[in-house]
Amino acid sequence: MALVDLPPNRVTPKYLTEWAVDRGSKYGFKVKALGLEACEIEGLEAFISVGKGSQNELQFIIMSYEPNTPIENLKHVGLVGKGITFDTGGLNIKTAGMLDMKCDMAGGAAVFGAMQLIADLQLPVKVTAIVPCAENAVSSKSFLPSDVIKSYGGATIEIIDTDAEGRLILADGLAYMVKNYSPEYIVDIATLTGSSMGTFGHECAALFTNNNTVATALQKAGDSIGERMWPLPLWEAYNTDIESDIADVRNYSGKPLAGAITAAKFLEYFTQGHKAWAHLDIAGVAFGTDEFAKSKHATAYGVQLLAKFIENI
């Protein structure tokens, strides 16, 4: 919760790297962080595009955990979290709600917290986690609406809206996970769209997956701890929302319709057809108010959920 509640001039991408390294050494998971130069070498161009407008260097954080005791047929779960430490909207600058945008790394924070909990509990599962961390800022170096950028997965992306940045960094995170680690299950978690909040309010997260087993396991885990979610479709009919005339895909349909679904379809494109992938849009449940707080604060949604899911998978 503290990672989300602290101000964005403190919680920079480098701060999150330092936090992960510290917790990894204490609780027993490995951490590797790629800075700008390393990301350029790896070809994480969609991620770099989002972060290049900020003076705070981006960090592509990779964490790995295995139980201390050898286990046969160890299951492997991949986690990917959105780590936008502050979101101005970029050149498509936000006209409202910017004050709360320190919470735009709540998905990444949930993955950090889950890794600490999983390692502390010594769960009998192998876990690889990726949190691409960047600040979506406005400067002369910011990426532009109408840009066509490359991605780690090889596809080109037409930029319709620079405020649809979370899906860009997750696209590279998911593609990197699939190509380099090949986990049996992948769950990404992100404060991705206002559309999900418009649908569910602050009551539950939006769940997207084509795998019924994963959907059931996530919902069961969530219901047992009060971190609820509800499924929305990934029908092929929505594919036209991400079609582009000048690139392989576009990052936003340009229409104020089905925004959470459009974002999920975009992410699905970069999973390379993975058969057990799920996306959690937690925009409405990651940050809010309650009767015990003086101001809005983090809920820590996703930490227990991910650990519970992994424990029971």
Q: Hey, which residues are catalytic here?
A: 94, 167
CB contact at 8 A, 179 and 270:
no
Q: CA 16 to CA 81: how far, in whole Å?
A: 12
Q: Which residues share a beta bridge with 135?
A: 86
Mind giving me the DSSP string for 258-312? SHHHHHHHHHHHTTTT-TTEEEEE-TTTSEE--TT-SS-EE--TTHHHHHHHHHH
Collapse the DSSP code of 166 into the 3-class scheme (helix H, G, I; strand E, B; otherwise coil) and give the result.
helix
Q: What's the first-to-final CA gap in the chain, in angstroms?
A: 25
Q: Which residue has the tokens 């909207």?
A: 89
Using N-to-C axis directions, what is the helix angle for 166-181 and 259-269, rounded to 10°? 30
For the CA atoms of 146, 84, 176, 156, the dihedral, rounded to the nearest 10 degrees, stands at: 0
For the CA atoms of 39, 40, 43, 49, the dihedral, rounded to the nearest 10 degrees, stands at: 90
CB contact at 8 A, 64 and 19:
no
Measured CA distances, 228 to 19, 278, 288, 301, 307 (Å): 28, 15, 15, 9, 14
Q: Is the dihedral of CA 159, 162, 166, 170 positive or negative?
A: positive
